[in-house]
Each structure stands twice: as C-alpha cells, then as structure tokens.
Amino acid sequence: MGNIISKQQQALLASDSKIGILVTRDEDGYPHLTFISSIQALGESRLTFGKFCEGLSKRFITERPEAGFLALNGDMEFLRGTAVYDSSAQTGKEFDEYNKKPMFRYNSYFGFSRIYYLNVDDITPTEKLSMKKIVVGAVLTRIAALFQKQSVKGALGHVGKGIFAELDSLKFIAYYDGRLRARIIPVIQAGPAGTDRVVFSLLPFGKEIKRIPKGCKAAVFAVNLKMESVLVKGIYEGVHGLPRSGRFVIERVYNSMPPKNEYIYPSHDAPETITDF
C-alpha cells in the first residue's frame, strides 16, 4: 500500500457511474457504511465527496475523522484504502465543479450543499473481482448457511433478507483495526443464514477474512442493482464450519434507503429520524 492515487485510479474515481462506499465509525464504535458515488480524487493525495442532504455519515466523519473507502467500476475493478477527514466547504472550485454535474439518484437530480475533504492515509493497488470465484463462493455460502443455528430474533425483515439473498447484489464487510484504520472487504458471496446472521465463504478474499479479529464490532452493507440497500451492524464471530465460512451476528439493522433512513431493528433503536444514509 501507499498513499499516492495513481492516474488510473484517479480516472476510476472520476466515474459518475461507479459504486462508492465510505466507512465511518458510529458513537458506539461500529463501522457505518454509506453508498457515496460522488467520492473522487483531488490530486494524488486527497479525496472529496459531496453532501446533498443531512446524514449520519457526515456527522460521524466530523466527530471521528478516521475513514475508509472503496470504489468499484463497471469492469469490476476496484480500489480501497483509508483516509482522514480534514475539512468541508460550501463554496470554492470543487463546490462549483460538483454542482456542474448533478448526480441522478432515486429518480431525482441532486445538487450538493457541502463538499468534504479527506487526506489519503493508504490506498491499495487497483484489483479486479473474479466472478468465477464469487459464483463458487456463493454456492459454498449457501451450503454453509444450511448448518447455522435457527433464527430467534427476526433481525432481518423480508426486504433486507431478500437483498442479502440476491446473487448479484454487492456486499461489503468493514471493521476497524487496532490502529483505528477502517478495513473493508468485498464479500459478494455473502448470504443470510436465517434472519439473525450473515455468512460468507472464504472464496474469494479468504486470507483477508481470516484476519478479521474474532469478536470485533463489524458491519455488512448490501446493495442490489436497483440501488436498494441495507446495512447491518453486529459482531463478527470468526470462521466456522464446513465449508469454512465467516459468521456475522446481527445486532442492529439500518434502512439506508430514502425517504426514511433509520434503524429498524431493534425497533426502539431509533431515537431520532434520519434523513440520509
């Protein structure tokens, strides 16, 4: 890893059609993953993203500036890394440039009211997802899910469970290491094991999955091709069973889709109405 964004990576980040994920840390120490396609490079060592409405991730990043990011393009090439929040602005060159190309999302065009600036701490070389490995991994995940404990809490509702079950939905797990650096791993092979757990085989990214600390606070974000998404937070229980698979126990479920973004499990876990993801 280094902290220089290459020209090729700058081009990947400049794409308006990419998948962008921002990882921040909530008040309880859990990762909070947000879909932010506006994230892009500013030169070789900085990132920016735009805000089109209020939200948890913007609050979290100003209170706890250690962040992680991932960007994935249509060719399944992706990069990821860590960054530290620096400042924000409501005027200036970047503000004007962002608002010259409004983003089309949720059947509406959005302008940006604030631009956030981050300093890159480290960034990986560009990688490419292997669809062959993902398909095999998804089959192994479905087998592993059959041997999980019976659901008792009903954490994932019908919609959320459906998003996780879709073979072509994108899923990512994130956690913070001992140095408060956000780590994010694609786990597209992941699937629900009942309503209380998410499991994922060790194919692909098995070495990275094995490095996730057992018992750590983690979060898994899932988004499908219709841009329907759900975020679950909980505890990673390590690698178990045959076939070997990572096991994540759900403690909280967050609806990350407008118009009403909020914690939906447990039902009393939403002290305020959330207007952004």
Domain boundaries of the chain, sorted by first residue: 7-127, 129-265
111 — pLDDT class (breaks 50, 70, 90):
confident
The pTM is what?
Answer: 0.92
Distance CA 196, CA 247 (A): 11
Q: Write the DSSP symbol of residue 131.
A: H
Mean pLDDT of the 132-141 span = 98
Distance CA 222, CA 170 (A): 6
Residue 265's pLDDT is what?
95
CB 160 within 8 A of CB 191: no
CA distances from 145 to 151, 191, 236, 244, 246 (A): 11, 8, 15, 11, 10
274 — pLDDT class (breaks 50, 70, 90):
very low
Q: Which residues contact 122 (CB under 8 A, 6 or more apart)?
A: 1, 2, 3, 81, 82, 181
Query: In CATH, what is the architecture of 7-127?
Result: Roll (2.30)
Query: In CATH, what is the architecture of 129-265?
Result: Roll (2.30)
Of all residues in the chain, the percent with pLDDT exceeding 90 is 79
Residue 105's pLDDT is what?
54
Residue 189's pLDDT is what?
98
pLDDT at residue 101 tops 80: no
Range in 130-134, 166-170, 206-210, 261-265 the model is least confident about = 261-265
Mean pLDDT of the 96-116 span = 73
Q: Answer whether 7-127 and 129-265 agree in fold.
A: yes
